[in-house]
Each structure stands twice: as C-alpha cells, then as structure tokens.
Structure 1
C-alpha cells in the first residue's frame, strides 16, 4: 500500500531497528541516470530524506517540484516512467505536460444511439436530400459502390480481416491484416480512403524485399540524433574495413510499425549493431520506458542472429553483456568496441577486417 514519506520512513526505522534505515548514497547509482529528477527532488519537501536514500522500487509518495515551480506527488516508479513517448522536457511534470498539449477544437458530438442500419449516428450529410434519411456511412458506401462485406476485405485484399467496434470510440474499428501484424485503429472512412496496415505499408518500402537478419538501406531510417554518432562511425571506419552504408536490419517481429530496426551503426560483415546512447538534452533519452524499448530492440536483433554493442554515456548503466561505458567519442572508446567485437565474433575473424 502506497504511503506518505513520513510513515514510510518511520516504518523502515521500526522494521530495521535503526534511525537511518538507508544510508545516504546507497541508491545514488540508480538515480544518477535521471538528472532531471535529481533537480526536481528537494529533501526539505520530503521529511529531510535525500533522494539517494529512496529505493527506486519503494511504494511511497514523494513530493517533487519542477523547474517551473509546480509541485506534485508521485511515487519513484511513476516519476521514472513519466516521459512516455514524448521528447519534450515538460513530460517530467504533469502540470507542464498538460499545458504543453494544444487544445483540440472539437466538433459537435454526434447524436447518441445508432441508425437502423447499425452504424453509429453521425450528423454529417453528403447530399442535401431531405428525403434520404440514410446515415452518413451508408451514403459513403453507396457512393463508393461497396457493400459492407466488400469493405471488410479492403484492409488486406483477398483475405479475411477482423473488424470490431472499439468501446467508447464511435466510428473507430480495429483492423488486422492477413499477415497477423498488430491490429491498427482506423475509421471506416480512412479505410475507404486507402488506409492499410502500417507494418505492411512500411515493409513494402524495403524490409519485405530482404530476409530476416539481412542488413539493407532503408528510406525510413531517421537522421543521426547528434554529431557524435557520425563521428563514431567515422572513427570505426578508420579502424575496420567494413561496409558502413547500411542503416537498417530486417527483423522477424514488428518493432512498433516496422519490420526493421535502425541501429546507429550497422556492421553487416560482423552482424553487429552499435548504438550510441546518452540521456539527451532534456534527460529523456534511453531512460524509463525508452530503456525498455532499447531492450526490446536488442532482443529482436539477437533473435535474427545479430549482437549489439551499446556505448552508454554519462550515468547510463550497461543493459547488455557487451556494452561499453564512456564519456564521449574517443579513440579509446573505439579500441574497447573492437575488443567487444573480438569477444563476440572471435579475434581471428575480426582481425581480417582491421585496417
């Protein structure tokens, strides 16, 4: 049961029989990866207990204060997981995050209930025909020359498609292609307009043309997040005679909406991916949920015969057996990467690619 920091600390004093159940600095290694949280935590707001005395898994309410002065209560786990999918610094504070989201202009809600045809009520009309009382969707289907059964086959031509209404979301449905990729959400209007399975659509751009475990050049790969990644690639190219022109690896299981992953550096001859990880400008990268995403990405690569070497900068701890801790891009870091490659593929094999 989650409790206040005063009660939590008093109970730990009683159970451990000491006035200081957790020494200062005991959990510093767990918190130093989160510089934003270190700034948000103030001992004077939490019964004089410093952050390095709080276990990351403690079920306790702590009081935090963001850089803008907002105060809010959250457990250590809630606060470490707060960034989610956004990259804004405001994600670390619930008040700042709410203020950063633009207000949506909502159109009038459709009438409650459904038409006699079974479709949800929608006040929009396509034609100014007072004698035609059909619903908006029925008119749209009629103009497209499609029956309900024909519509169901649109998500994957020639296959059966699961279509089910989402509770509480009028007009939205779950669609799943014949390949069994994760279901995606879309209105019937979007399907009529050409919306298809995002995994299949992205794979058609390159991943579907190569077997699982193959490296290739993908048009979906993002640009380098910082100047450090190209510099690391250049230094590795000076040491190893390998093809550094690939930017993606085909995986067997979808990674979000793609059948490919994009390591920072791809070594196809060695079947090794190299990642350069920092917490980023706002302390959001590679921590919390993003660390879980990194672990999933590594599992997908290992499942198709690849290995991963992550260069973990700053206070980021290693998450894989071959990770390298570093403070930046240096020749010494490249030497350690080469050592890891020799551990993975063997010194004799790697020496064949040394310049």
Structure 2
C-alpha cells in the first residue's frame, strides 16, 4: 500500500530498529542520473527526508515542486518514468506538460452516427441509394477483389474496438502482418486505402534488401543530436583505418517499426557499434523509459552478432560490460574505446586497423 513520506519513514524506523533507516547518500548514485528530479525534490516538503535516503523503487507518495512552482504528488517510479516520448523540459511536471500540450477538444456532431453494419456515418457523403441500402464503405468493399469478410478475417481474433472520432465511431481492428511483425491497428477503410504493416513499409527499399546483421547506409537514420557525436567519429577515424560511412545495422526483430537501428558510430570491420549518451539539455535523454529503449537496442544488436560500446557521460552510469564513463569527448576517451574494442575482438585484430 502506498504511504506518505512520514508514514513510510516511521514504518522503516520500526522494521529496521533504527532512528535513521537509510543514511544520507545511500541512493545518491541511483538519483544522480535525474538532475531534474533532484531540483524538484525539497526535504522541507517531505518531513525532512532527503532524496538520497529514498529508494527509487519505494512505494511512497513524494511531494515534488517543479521550476515553475507547481506542486504535485507522485511515487519515485512514476516520476522517473515521467518524460515519456517528449523532449520538453516540462515533461517532468504533469501541470507544465498539460499546459505545454493541451488536449484537443472535440465537438460532438449531431449528424454523425453509426450504420447498422458498424461503420461510421459520414454526413459529407450521400449514404442512401434507391437500389442499395448499404453504407458507402460496404459498397466500396464489395467492389474490391477482397470481400469484407475476407478482409476482417485477416484481423487478429477479438481485436475489434471502438475508436471515437469527429464523424462518429469507426470500427478498428488489429491486423497481423504475414511476416510475423507486431500487430498494428487500423480501420478497414484505411486498409483498403493502402495502409499495410508499418514495419514492412519502413523496410521497403532499405532494410528489407539487407541481410540480417549487415551494416549499410540508411536514408532513414536521424541526424546527429549534438556536435559531440561527429567529433567522436572524427577522432575514431583518426585512430582507426575503418569505413565509418555506414549508419545503420539490420536487425532480426523490429525496433519501433523499423528493421534497422542507427548507432552513432558503426564499425562494420569489427561489428561493433559505438554510442554517445548524455542526459541532454533538459535532463530527458537516456533516462527512465529511454534507458530501457537503449537496453533493448543493445540486445537486438548482440542478437545479430554485434557488440556495443557506450560512452556514458556523467551522471549516467554504464549499461553494458564494455561501456566507458566519461565527461566529454577527449583523446583519453578514444583510448578507452580502443581498449574496449581490443577486449571485444582481440588486440591483434584491432591493431591491424590502427593508423
């Protein structure tokens, strides 16, 4: 049962038989990766208990105060997973996040409705026909080579859900790709319009023609997030005679609707990917859910015979056995990367590529 900080602290004092069950600094290493949360935590709002005395997994309601002065209550786990998929600094505070991206207000349409067949009624279309009382979508389905029954049969079992939209309620199904990719949701009308598996669509003309585990040049790879990544690439190129033109690796399983991942530096000769990780300008990068994404990315690379070396800038800690903790891009960091490459592939192999 989730408790307030005073209740939780008193129970811990009783269970451990000590006036201070957790000394100051006990969990400093766990919280230092979240500088935004360190700023939001105030001991005077939490019975004098400091943040480094609270375990990150503790089931306790903690009071936080953001930089804008908003006060709110959340457990440590809830707050650590707060950033989600956004890159705004306001993501750490639920009040600021709501003000930054207010929800869309939908007005009810009195003319909207649902046909007896379950398809949405669109007031912009003439649905009635003197010779055919079926709705527009049903008539369109009959004109296609694939009947409605055959099309819906492709959907996963028990996957029909109601989706609210301006023109009524659309029947939405979860469709399973024949290639075994994760199921995706779409209406029958969108399937008829050409929508297919997003993984297959993204792989077409790119990763689909590349063998699993091979590095290649992808047009879908994002641009470097900071100037530090090109600088690290330049320093590595000065030390190793390898081809760094590739920017993607074909993986066996989808990674966010893609069959490719985009490491910061790809070394095909050694089958090693180098990543440069910082918490970013607002302390949102590579923490919380994004750390879980990094771990998943590393697992996909290792599953196809690659290894990963992450340069983790403080306060981030190492994720893998060959990660390098640093404070920036320096020659000493490059030396440690080369040392890690020697551990992975052998010093003799790496020496063959040294300049």
* TM-score in terms of structure 1 length: 0.92
Q: Which residue of 1 aligns with 2:263?
A: 263
Bigger mean CA deviation after superposition, 65-74 or 336-345: 65-74
Q: Which residue of 1 aligns with 2:237?
A: 237
SS at match of 1:255: coil
CA distance in 1, matches of 2:340, 2:223: 26
Shift of residue 204, structure 1, vs aligned partner: 1.2
CA distance in 2, matches of 1:176, 1:124: 31
CA distance in 1, matches of 2:191, 2:331: 52
C-alpha change, 1:87 and 1:257, in structure 2 (3 Å) is same
Q: Deviations over 1:248-304 (max 9, x none)?
A: 000111111001100000000000000000001111110001000000000000000
Shift of residue 144, structure 1, vs aligned partner: 5.4
C-alpha change, 1:110 and 1:215, in structure 2 (3 Å) is farther
Q: Is there any run of 5+ residues in structure 2 with no aligned partner, and where?
A: 164-169
Q: Deviations over 1:86-111 (max 9, x none)?
A: 11111111111122224324253688
C-alpha change, 1:297 and 1:128, in structure 2 (3 Å) is closer
CA distance in 1, matches of 2:70, 2:195: 42
Shift of residue 167, structure 1, vs aligned partner: 3.0
Question: Which residues of 2 match residues 61-72 of structure 1 at below 5 A?
Answer: 61-72=61-72
CA distance in 2, matches of 1:193, 1:336: 53
Q: Which residue of 1 aligns with 2:176?
A: 176
C-alpha change, 1:222 and 1:110, in structure 2 (3 Å) is farther
C-alpha change, 1:330 and 1:29, in structure 2 (3 Å) is same
C-alpha contact 2:83 2:284 (8 A) present in aligned 1: yes
C-alpha contact 1:25 1:53 (8 A) present in aligned 2: yes
CA distance in 1, matches of 2:42, 2:62: 10
Shift of residue 18, structure 1, vs aligned partner: 1.7
* TM-score in terms of structure 2 length: 0.92
How many aligned positions are there? 348
C-alpha contact 2:162 2:171 (8 A) present in aligned 1: no
CA distance in 2, matches of 1:144, 1:106: 33
C-alpha change, 1:111 and 1:20, in structure 2 (3 Å) is farther
C-alpha contact 1:161 1:177 (8 A) present in aligned 2: no
Q: Which residue of 1 aligns with 2:167?
A: none
Q: Which residue of 2 aligns with 1:76?
A: 76
Q: Which residue of 1 aligns with 2:121?
A: 122
C-alpha contact 1:152 1:163 (8 A) present in aligned 2: no
C-alpha contact 1:165 1:171 (8 A) present in aligned 2: no
CA distance in 1, matches of 2:303, 2:75: 35
C-alpha contact 1:124 1:136 (8 A) present in aligned 2: no
CA distance in 1, matches of 2:36, 2:210: 42
Q: Which residue of 2 aligns with 1:194?
A: 194
Shift of residue 124, structure 1, vs aligned partner: 3.1
CA distance in 2, matches of 1:145, 1:37: 57
Q: Which residue of 2 aligns with 1:156?
A: none
CA distance in 2, matches of 1:128, 1:60: 56
C-alpha change, 1:13 and 1:226, in structure 2 (3 Å) is same
C-alpha contact 2:65 2:71 (8 A) present in aligned 1: yes
Question: Which residues of 2 match residues 1-355 of structure 1 at below 5 A?
Answer: 1-106=1-106, 108=108, 115-116=115-116, 118-127=117-126, 129=128, 131=130, 133-142=133-142, 147-149=147-149, 151-152=151-152, 162=156, 165-169=159-163, 170-355=170-355
SS at match of 2:72: strand
C-alpha change, 1:339 and 1:332, in structure 2 (3 Å) is same
CA distance in 2, matches of 1:110, 1:290: 43
SS at match of 1:186: strand
Q: Deviations over 1:291-341 (max 9, x none)?
A: 000000000000000000000001000010000000000000000000000
Bigger mean CA deviation after superposition, 57-66 or 94-103: 94-103
Bigger mean CA deviation after superposition, 247-256 or 140-149: 140-149
Shift of residue 143, structure 1, vs aligned partner: 6.0
